[in-house]
Chains A and B, each alone.
Chain A
Amino acid sequence: MATISVSDLRKGAKVELDNQPYVVTDFDFCKPGKGQALYRCKLKNMISGSTMDRTWRSADKVDTPDLANREVTYSYADGEDFIFSDNETYEEIRVPNSVLGNRKYFLIENANCEILLYNDKPIEVTLPIFIEKRIVHTEPGVRGDTATNTLKPAKLDNGYVIQVPLFVNEGDWVKVDTRTGTYSERILNKK
């Protein structure tokens, strides 16, 4: 197991505690009076997202998690799982539904993605930031209402519903931001 000396910890460093990977989200060196150095960290669990505080002393060593990033291409859905293939080795990587959550609606066949593996298990999938989707159903916008901050629901071709401006019509293609799952812009001249 690889370790890191706490004096080498920085914001963004990854550590392993109780068989869970954490990222250091805040870090401060502090030294009370003439005493020994303390490293006060805020940690975020890379799987559950929960946060906690942890203080280490200068002599402490912390385990580092076995993490690997893979460039992959999305292939297909297999029941509750999603199958990607490694761009280098063509090895198949199976990602369970729980890792993707709602972002499964933004998977597009043959899209280039990144998978973060922890002990060879996928814990995070990074999708292309923007994807293009077709609106299959939305109510027509009210004529003359040009206020740009008014939104209405619109259904994508895979059933997922996003909020779009009133000028977006059924059959239009739109760009969706996969980080937030929100409408970004309408794509003109694509039908």
Chain B
Amino acid sequence: MPQPGPANADLERLRALAPALHGRQRLLQAVRQFFAARDFLEVETPIRLPRPALEEFIDAEPAGDWFLRTSPELHMKRLLAAGYPRLVQIGPCFRRGEEGRQHHPEFTMLEWYRANAGCRDILADTVALVRAAAHAVAGAGQWRFRGETINADAPWEELTVDEAFQRHAGLTPEAAMREPAGFEQILVERVEPHLGRGRPTILRDYPLPFAALARPCPGRPDRAERWELYIGGLELANAYGELTDPTEQRRRFLACADFRRHEGRPIYPLDEPFLAALEAGIPPCGGIALGFDRLLMTLLDRPTIADVTAFPPATI
């Protein structure tokens, strides 16, 4: 814990954050130990890029003529294509204009990928990781978050998007898309609050339009191999059975560029080296992006991302 120091509001604030900053270090150590023990290679890929991934609703922060990365995904997939079977990265990502109780425009992302694997293998990693992290940071597999006890050691809940919408909003995802509020608002307002209550929830099998880089579910072409992890109503991670078909990937990027042009959002050049890696051949793979700060929020029972960050945007 820090030594007492001068009276100054900012320094007092930083001293009060000591449990969160120490918790962050414990979580970082637990995560590194977890992946090292499973023979993952920890990598660092570029933070400043000429071609950020095209996603419908994610805007990159310009940095000179280039951009700050919104995700390390495309470079990590090039490493997968090169033959590295298990990869992990922990580092900063940037998303322009995203600031709220659970969003900062600069945040820490934990991403990992497995070759010759799918969504289910990534799920097994995630269950083991969250349990290990809870024991390391909260001291047990059960801890308090948002006024209730979360038990990560208990079997997790798994719901398809269809089941969750039917159960919590009383309609199908397709019907939700036709509502004036739309799929996302109904998800946020009526479905998410019920997810991850008492134990983590996996929400899976998203309608294809909501899974830009995922492959379709076997036998269900209108649903994609995508799942999200929720704890206490908070969304923590997004996992894909990764799309590896270069033609389909190019088609989706171009469709996304069209959509962005139509929305008046900036367009980024296609990442040709990434598409070339898919052309050359990438093994079937699964991957996940987990919000490191949000996992820390849940394990330390903090209401906002600012409560686990030494220098939130307003203080920089």
Contacts and interface: CB of A to CB of B under 8 A. Distances in A.
B188 A7 contact: no
Interface in B24-58: 55-58
A38 B184 contact: yes
Contacts of B100: 28-30
Q: Which of B57, B102, B189, B238 has the most CB of A within 10 A?
A: B57
A35 B184 contact: yes
A34 B189 contact: no
Interface string B88-128: 00000000011111110000000000000000000000000
B98 A34 contact: no
A44 B131 CA distance: 42
A30 B187 CA distance: 12
Contact of B212 (A7, A29, A34, A59): A34
Interface in A32-57: 32-38, 40, 55, 57
A40 B55 CA distance: 22
A35 B210 CA distance: 7
A32 B57 CA distance: 10
Question: How many A residues are at the interface, by size bracket?
Answer: 10 to 19
B263 interface: yes
A32 B103 contact: no
Contacts of A55: 181, 185, 188-189
Interface in A58-78: 58-59
Interface string A10-41: 00000000000000000011111111111010
Given A7-B97, A35-B210, A37-B57, A30 B188 contact: yes
Contacts of B187: 32-33, 35
Nearest to B226: A33
Nearest to B203: A33
Given A7-B97, A31-B103, A36 B188 contact: no
B192 interface: yes
A187 B115 CA distance: 81
B237 to A, nearest CB: 10
Nearest to A29: B100
Interface of B: 55-58, 97-103, 181-185, 187-189, 192, 206, 210-212, 228, 235, 238, 263
12 contacts: A29-B98, A29-B103, A33-B206, A33-B228, A33-B235, A34-B55, A34-B57, A35-B57, A35-B183, A35-B184, A38-B188, A57-B182
Given A35-B210, A37-B97, 14 more contacts: A28-B100, A30-B100, A30-B102, A31-B98, A32-B187, A33-B187, A33-B206, A33-B210, A34-B58, A34-B212, A34-B238, A35-B57, A38-B184, A38-B185
Interface of A: 7, 28-38, 40, 55, 57-59
Give 8 nearest A-B pairs by CB, closest first. A29-B100, A35-B184, A36-B57, A28-B100, A32-B184, A32-B188, A32-B187, A28-B101
